[in-house]
Structure 1
Amino acid sequence: MDFKFGEKEERLRAEIKEFAKSELVGDIGISGLEEESRDEDWEFSLQISKKLAQKGWLTMAWPKEYGGQGASFFEQYVYTDEASYCGIPGTQMGVGGIGWVGQSLMIFGSEEQRKKYIPSIAAGEPDGIWCTAYSEPNAGSDFANIQTRAIKSGDEYILNGQKIWTSCAHRARWCWMAVRTDPGAAKKQHGISLLIVDMRSPGITIKPIVNFAGIHIFNELFLDNVKVPVSNLVGTENRGWYHLMQSLAFERHSIAPQFYGGAKRTLEHIVRYALNTKYNGVPLAKNPIIRHKLAERAIELETLRLFSLEITWKMSKGVLPVYEAARNKVYCDLVMRNIATTGTEIIGAYSQLDARSKWAKIMGNITRMYMMFPGIAI
């Protein structure tokens, strides 16, 4: 079986490399969630999002009528992979804008919603920045146990409740939110609906959650009589569980390609460090224990790549993989954790330094990844 990409995909990869060289100063580290933390990083990511949209890359596999290029899923994969490897920020439009919100609206959103929300995502505009609010203090893994209420009153829903671990809530213009619209439903999976919430609405309080790495990614949301138009209901009322399962399939698939490239680059840095760093006059890479660990990480990373390509291939055939997407999410977390742990073991006490310290090894990426992966695994 031939896993190589064609000339078209390789040309795209080369173009993305050139874009990164021209737009990024030096090696800015791992792209992704961290860009939400500092104001200067966020502003830079917004500028890059706009340029990616102008290149036609941001939503390249979306249909042309929704601002995409109608490109193949394999081209989209190459773009996501290479952008991650190069550390290009601003590729996701917050948390979910590209990965699942836009694609879900194309399937079960209303025509009004598609016209209102999708263009700003595809154009890389600030109004296209999204967050996703599913988890609650008592509804994490038990997703169906959500208690945030949305009570219909005329042409509005009145929301009350609390959300937690809401990535990008402090930056987002809109929120993709799961709520309970029928508290008396026979099964907890029933009575759930999906709403689009304006993050500028009165009654929303955002409290930051700073992670182990000192990075502000997550937030708590408190909803106190927040009014949401009924027109912001996505899909059918009380059928949100079924819509969300489809949306989650998009989400889980988007995660692996997004993190694979950055993880690959970090592993390459670890290998280079082991080759160039000596202990008792012998390179660390000569130590058989270290060699075996690095080989294991490389095998895991290659497995993740093949898993992602399997899903990409199935999507190119019109299939929406659900089981495979869930598998990739879990496996991606494992791969990230193992690379971070192995890197920490190899660089030793340097891993205790602040990631931005001038003495940090591998640009602080190991420390940053190690401190971030518990949150990524949520």
Structure 2
Amino acid sequence: MHFPPTVLTPDERSLRASVREFLHDERSRIGSGSTNFGGGSDREFSRRLADRGWVGMSIPTEFGGHGRTAVDRFVVVTELLAAGAPVSAHWIADRQTAPSILKFGTDAQKRCFLPRIAKAECTFCIGMSEPDSGSDLASIRTAATRTDGGWLLTGTKVWTSGAHEADFVLVLCRTSPLGENRHEGMSQLIVDLTSPGVAVNPIISMNGAHHFNEVVFDQVFVPDDLLLGEEGQGWRQVNSELAYERSGPDRWLSTYGLFRAFLGSNADTTSDAVTNAVGRIAARYRTLHNLSLSVARMIDEGGAPAAEAALVKDLGTVFEKQVAETVRDLAGISPDIDAPETEAGILADAIFSLPALTIRGGTTEILRGAAAKELIR
């Protein structure tokens, strides 16, 4: 496991400056962006980003993308998340569905979905987790059986972020009976969420937010041409997909809005405790930025830094919790969920969101196991 040191090139710094200028002009659309994609969902904002070439950046030009690097995308999304921009409408499709389709999809699937993703016209959510499965993804029970021209899909997915607003869901399901090797016999299907037999039920968070959903499939017909990759190779494909999910700045910037609000309210402080805390947090942000940038650079150089990505996610989400706890200890205010644009409201949102931060994209235990296995190979 290694993280080669790297810095932004002059062109990458110029791109960063362009994004910051755009965000300054768009500041009326940007809220507090407190935690868990606090900027929310705004399809028009996503389309404005797409018009500038900042959605689908790493999709090849032949499929409607922009042929940019993983580092270019890292630069753009870091600025968007730090500003609290409303990116969740296009986020899943851009971050991991597009790379999965590019890697495993047929030519027809690439030409159907990738140009629409790059224009922010087609949105996706992820159908992995299930009731009673916890972090044991191999225990899924959602199953698809053969029928004329395709599959009949039955089962339930939970914690499906943004399913109530998405157009499609990429579902991990069993297409063969469970055998001795639980990792065999799984496949991925691209499912239109408007299909007959699909029900999307809201899961309301403790803070009243609607981000998660339960998605129920009752004999949903999925055409053969929407099988992603090879039948029975779902486990391998999903693990490849999770690598895109784990190393990005969204794994260490979720509570940045809270830190920014804390800085604003303590701009003139003379407290040594506050000054020391701000210094420690800022140093950690810089460290995690450099680790995440290193992973993006390795991807551009043809590497497959799955263990490094898992480690960044682990370090990042533990740190996000520490940020919230530090602010709570030093702010001297009571959390107030009814005041969303204030420091008290952002603090309340962060506290309610903390349990989810170390679960999404793989629990802390799962991630450390993945990193440990790589270290002993």
- TM-score (norm. length: structure 1): 0.87
Alignment counterpart, residue 72 of structure 1, candidates 69, 72, 76:
69
Alignment counterpart, residue 371 of structure 1, candidates 330, 352, 364:
352
Deviation at 1:301, TM superposition (A): 2.1
Deviation at 1:291, TM superposition (A): 4.0
1:21 matched residue in structure 2: 24
2:362 matched residue in structure 1: none
User: In structure 1, the residue corresponding to 2:335 is in which secondary structure?
Assistant: helix
CA contact (8 A) 1:336 1:369 kept: no
Deviation at 1:72, TM superposition (A): 2.7
**Residues 1:115 and 2:104 aligned together:** no
User: In structure 1, the residue corresponding to 2:332 is in which secondary structure?
Assistant: helix
Unpaired runs of 5+ in structure 2?
Answer: 360-377
Alignment counterpart, residue 284 of structure 2, candidates 296, 300, 305:
300
CA contact (8 A) 1:92 1:99 kept: no
Q: Distance in 1 between matches of 2:194 and 2:29?
A: 36
Change in CA separation of 1:66 and 1:369 when aligned onto 2, cut-off 3 Å: farther
Deviation at 1:307, TM superposition (A): 1.5
Q: Distance in 2 between matches of 1:369 and 1:76?
A: 26
Number of aligned positions between the proteins: 355
**Residues 1:214 and 2:208 aligned together:** yes
CA contact (8 A) 2:56 2:98 kept: no
User: In structure 2, the residue corresponding to 1:301 is in which secondary structure?
Assistant: helix
Please list the CA deviations of residues 286-325 of structure 1 after superposition, one character each: whole Å capped at 9, or x if unmatched: 243x444434333332221122012012112111211111
Alignment counterpart, residue 153 of structure 1, candidates 140, 147, 165:
147
Deviation at 1:260, TM superposition (A): 4.2
Q: Distance in 1 between matches of 2:331 and 2:178?
A: 55
Greater relative contact order (Cα < 8 A, sep 6+): 2
2:10 matched residue in structure 1: 7
Q: Distance in 2 between matches of 1:20 and 1:121?
A: 21
Q: Distance in 1 between matches of 2:283 and 2:53?
A: 33
CA contact (8 A) 2:197 2:217 kept: yes
- CA-based RMSD of the aligned residues comes to 2.2
Change in CA separation of 1:347 and 1:232 when aligned onto 2, cut-off 3 Å: same
Deviation at 1:265, TM superposition (A): 5.2
Deviation at 1:68, TM superposition (A): 2.2
Which residue identity lines up with residue 33 of structure 1 in the other structure? Answer: F
1:129 matched residue in structure 2: 123
Q: Distance in 2 between matches of 1:62 and 1:286?
A: 48
Q: Distance in 2 between matches of 1:33 and 1:353?
A: 16
Q: Distance in 2 between matches of 1:268 and 1:215?
A: 22
Deviation at 1:183, TM superposition (A): 1.8
User: In structure 2, the residue corresponding to 1:352 is in which secondary structure?
Assistant: coil
CA contact (8 A) 1:82 1:261 kept: no
Which residue identity lines up with residue 332 of structure 1 in the other structure? Answer: G
- State how 1:150-299 maps to structure 2 within 5 Å: 150-253=144-247, 256-258=248-250, 260-261=252-253, 263-264=255-256, 266-276=258-268, 283=269, 285-288=270-273, 290-299=274-283
User: In structure 2, the residue corresponding to 1:182 is in which secondary structure?
Assistant: coil
1:279 matched residue in structure 2: none
Please list the CA deviations of residues 152-203 of structure 1 after superposition, one character each: whole Å capped at 9, or x if unmatched: 1122211111111011110010001100111232211111111101100111
CA contact (8 A) 1:85 1:260 kept: no
Identity of aligned residues (%): 29
Change in CA separation of 1:144 and 1:321 when aligned onto 2, cut-off 3 Å: same
Please list the CA deviations of residues 201-220 of structure 1 after superposition, one character each: whole Å capped at 9, or x if unmatched: 11111111111221100011
User: In structure 2, the residue corresponding to 1:93 is in which secondary structure?
Assistant: helix
1:49 matched residue in structure 2: 46
- TM-score (norm. length: structure 2): 0.87
CA contact (8 A) 2:167 2:192 kept: yes
User: In structure 1, the residue corresponding to 2:262 is in which secondary structure?
Assistant: helix
1:33 matched residue in structure 2: 37
Q: Distance in 2 between matches of 1:34 and 1:150?
A: 35
Change in CA separation of 1:26 and 1:52 when aligned onto 2, cut-off 3 Å: closer
1:361 matched residue in structure 2: 343
User: In structure 2, the residue corresponding to 1:329 is in which secondary structure?
Assistant: helix
Change in CA separation of 1:264 and 1:220 when aligned onto 2, cut-off 3 Å: closer
Change in CA separation of 1:98 and 1:336 when aligned onto 2, cut-off 3 Å: same
Q: Distance in 1 between matches of 2:160 and 2:95?
A: 16
Please list the CA deviations of residues 210-254 of structure 1 after superposition, one character each: whole Å capped at 9, or x if unmatched: 11221100011111111111211111111110111111111212x
1:280 matched residue in structure 2: none
Please list the CA deviations of residues 326-376 of structure 1 after superposition, one character each: whole Å capped at 9, or x if unmatched: 12222221121111111122223432342426xx327x3322222223223
Which residue identity lines up with residue 109 of structure 2 in the other structure? Answer: Q
Unpaired runs of 5+ in structure 1?
Answer: 37-41, 277-282
